[in-house]
């Protein structure tokens, strides 16, 4: 029997950069391994898990533009990068005994399914981990916006933003020793204090649709499980 959890269906947002580990580039097998173990713990509790992965470890449209690549072209390259990451996570999760599907916003039938909302929900109901690749399928958006959008579409209970820090701070905790962590904060306060949680499009989508966000440290062992159980100290809840 699985134990009770606060959230039944989650959308986990992971950045591409996090996948890269200390080097900042490519995919670190040790990170994949650790993330898979963390995700397995919540899947075992009966939680339905959808994942949106970034592509920053491989390519970002904005950086491409600085080196002379057309912005829209670069954004499509970034979206393809997220599919590479999605496939890497898929492979690792399956190695850890989970059933998975990658669904891409850009059709590529030989490697994964196209994104179809109803099918995504069906996969989740069957206990499969669904990984959304290729962002929103449109340039000028981010994978944070993808996370908010998909979470709303699949009626997730919460967006869990896995980061390198354990929540939202009053200032950058890496630079400012007096920075304090919020256990919970309203959308309005995040906005007024100009705290950096997500880009504004992603943030507003959540706010307007009453979809809570939790920022937590994905690199801390057991943290994802604690968040899903509803441990208030495990991250910062934005509501
Ligand atoms: N991207 C895009 N549309 C989307 C999602 C992503 O054009 O809906 C592109 C964009 O160029 C972005 C890149 O894909 O820079 C990688 O995504 P992101 O920067 O969000 O990844 P992360 O920072 O989470 O690693």
Query: Rounded to the nearest whole angstrom, what is the distance from the C-alpha of residue 147 to the centroid of ligand 1?
Result: 11
Cβ(114) – ligand 1 distance below 6 Å: no
pLDDT (0 to 100) of residue 24: 81
Q: Give binding residues for UMP as ranges.
A: 55, 75, 136-143
What is the distance between the alpha carbons of residues 228 and 75, in angstroms, rounded to a whole number?
32
Cβ(21) – ligand 1 distance below 6 Å: no
Nearest CA to ligand 1 atom 19: 56
Cβ(157) – ligand 1 distance below 6 Å: no
What is the distance between the alpha carbons of residues 195 and 58, in angstroms, rounded to a whole number?
27
CATH of the domain at 177: 3.40.1160.10
* Residue 4 included in any domain: no
Q: At 174, is the pLDDT very low, low, confident or very high (cuts 50, 70, 90)? A: confident
* Residue 67 included in any domain: yes
* Residue 70 included in any domain: yes
Q: For residue 74, what are the domain limits?
A: 9-238
* Residue 3 included in any domain: no
Query: What is the atom index within ligand 1 of the atom nearest the CA of 137?
Result: 8
Q: What is the pLDDT of residues 68-80, one digit of tens each?
A: 999 999 999 999 9
pLDDT (0 to 100) of residue 2: 61
* Residue 50 included in any domain: yes
Query: Rounded to the nearest whole angstrom, what is the distance from the C-alpha of residue 188 to the centroid of ligand 1?
Result: 25
Cβ(78) – ligand 1 distance below 6 Å: yes
Buried b (16+ CB within 10 A) or exposed e, 193-227: eebebbeeebbebbbeeebbbbbbbbbbeebbbbb
Q: Let me know: does 116 contact 130? Beta carbons within 8 Å.
A: no
What is the distance between the alpha carbons of residues 234 and 166, in angstroms, rounded to a whole number?
7
Instruction: Count up the domains in the chain and report the number.
Output: 1
Q: What is the pLDDT of residues 80-121, one digit of tens each?
A: 999 999 999 999 999 999 999 999 999 999 999 999 999 999
Cβ(54) – ligand 1 distance below 6 Å: yes
Question: Please, which residues have CB within 8 angstroms of residue 145's CB and are 6 or more apart in sequence?
Answer: 135, 136, 198, 199, 201, 202, 205
* Residue 2 included in any domain: no
* Residue 129 included in any domain: yes
pTM (two decimals): 0.97
The share of the chain scoring above pLDDT 70, in percent, equals 99
* Residue 99 included in any domain: yes
């Amino acid at each position: 029997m699985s134990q009770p959890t606060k959230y039944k269906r989650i959308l986990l947002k992971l950045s591409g950069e996090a996948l890269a580990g200390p080097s900042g580039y490519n995919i670190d097998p040790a990170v994949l391994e650790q993330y898979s173990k963390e995700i397995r713990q919540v899947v075992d509790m009966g939680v339905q898990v959808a994942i949106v992965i970034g592509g920053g470890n491989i390519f970002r449209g904005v950086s491409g533009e600085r080196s002379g690549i057309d912005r829209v072209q670069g954004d499509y390259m970034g979206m393809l990068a997220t599919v590479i990451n999605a496939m890497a996570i898929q492979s690792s999760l399956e190695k850890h005994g989970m059933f998975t599907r990658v669904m891409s916003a850009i059709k590529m039938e030989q490697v994964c399914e196209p994104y179809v909302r109803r099918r995504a929900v069906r996969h989740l109901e069957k206990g499969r981990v669904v990984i959304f690749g290729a962002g929103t399928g449109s340039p000028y958006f981010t994978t944070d916006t993808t996370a908010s959008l998909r979470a709303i579409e699949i009626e997730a209970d919460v967006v869990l933003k896995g980061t390198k820090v354990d929540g939202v701070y009053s200032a950058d905790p890496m630079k400012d020793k007096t920075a304090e962590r919020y256990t919970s904060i309203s959308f309005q306060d995040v906005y007024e204090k100009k705290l950096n949680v997500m880009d504004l499009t992603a943030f507003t989508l959540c706010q307007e649709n009453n979809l809570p966000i939790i920022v937590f440290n994905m690199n801390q062992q057991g943290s994802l499980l604690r968040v899903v159980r509803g441990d208030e100290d495990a991250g910062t809840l934005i509501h």
